[in-house]
């Protein structure tokens, strides 16, 4: 856009030079005796000034023709090529930006999916750990319950054995005491029955 404006300015300058070159002879023809004080270049009555004006107009006209026929078309061609190159580069840049935006979008989508998969895996591992802990807790509780029941059974057996021993010891002791005190041997069945009754009364 800036080069197009510059090209238009060059053309306008060339048109201005051509117009000026044509206007100077007209000024000389309209005012052949014009002269400004201190400005001999405006003394159109002087043949040297007329010659300079004619040569200047010719030079300006030649320069304008050269510029308009040779230089300006080349400049326009260069500017056109440059404009096409810039437009092509801009098109390539826009396409590259679009591809980059697509790549960034794909990257964000892949990151989102990766985070979702990672969260799902974490949730799965946590759930599996929870189920494993619950299963182990149930197994431990069942094992402890079995061990407690077995211990209670053994305690009950030991208690029964201890009570049987106590009754046996009590029966033997009673028989010994009766024999020592009375000098006679008490019937074993009677002593055993009495000891059993006394133990039952005491909850033994």
pLDDT digits (tens, 9 = 90+) for 144-183: 999 999 888 888 888 777 766 666 677 677 667 766 766 6
3-state SS of the chain is CHHHHHHHHHHHHHHHHHHHHHHHHHHHHHCCCCCECCEHHHCCCCHHHHHHHHHHHHHHHHHHHHHHHHHHHHHHHHHHHHHHHHHHHHHHHHHHHHHHHHHHHHHHHHHHHHHHHHHHHHHHHHHHHHHHHHHHHHHHHHHHHHHHHHHHHHHHHHHHHHHHHHHHHHHHHHHHHHHHHHCCCCCHHHHHHHHHHHHHHCCC
- Per-residue pLDDT at 188 exceeds 70: no
Of the listed ranges 39-48, 79-88, 90-99, the one predicted with least confidence: 39-48
Angle between the N-to-C axes of helices 72-182 and 188-201, in degrees from 0 to 180, rounded to the nearest 10: 140
Average pLDDT score over residue span 80-102: 93
Q: What is the pLDDT of residues 27-70, one digit of tens each?
A: 444 444 444 455 666 666 666 777 788 888 889 888 888 877 87
Span of 77-81, 85-89, 117-121, 193-197 with lowest mean pLDDT = 193-197
Whole-structure pTM value: 0.37
Q: What is the model's pLDDT at position 28?
A: 47
Q: Report yes or no: 100 and 57 within 8 Å, Cβ to Cβ.
A: no
């Amino acid at each position: 856009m800036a080069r197009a404006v510059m090209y238009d300015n060059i053309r306008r300058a060339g048109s201005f030079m051509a117009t000026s070159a044509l206007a100077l002879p007209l000024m000389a023809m309209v005012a052949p005796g014009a002269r400004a004080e201190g400005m001999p270049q405006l003394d159109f009555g002087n043949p040297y000034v007329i010659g300079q004006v004619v040569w200047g107009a010719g030079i300006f006209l030649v320069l304008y023709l050269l510029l308009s026929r040779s230089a300006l078309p080349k400049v326009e061609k260069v500017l056109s090529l440059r404009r096409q190159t810039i437009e092509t580069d801009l098109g390539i840049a826009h396409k590259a930006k679009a591809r980059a935006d697509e790549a960034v979008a794909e990257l964000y989508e892949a990151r989102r999916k990766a985070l979702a998969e990672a969260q799902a895996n974490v949730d799965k591992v946590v759930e599996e750990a929870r189920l494993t802990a619950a299963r182990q807790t149930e197994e431990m509780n069942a094992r402890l319950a079995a061990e407690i029941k077995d211990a209670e059974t053994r305690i009950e057996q030991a208690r029964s054995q201890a009570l049987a021993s106590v009754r046996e010891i009590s029966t033997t002791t009673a028989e010994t005491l009766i024999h020592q005190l009375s000098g006679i041997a008490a019937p074993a069945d009677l002593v055993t029955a009495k000891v059993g009754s006394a133990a039952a009364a005491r909850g033994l």
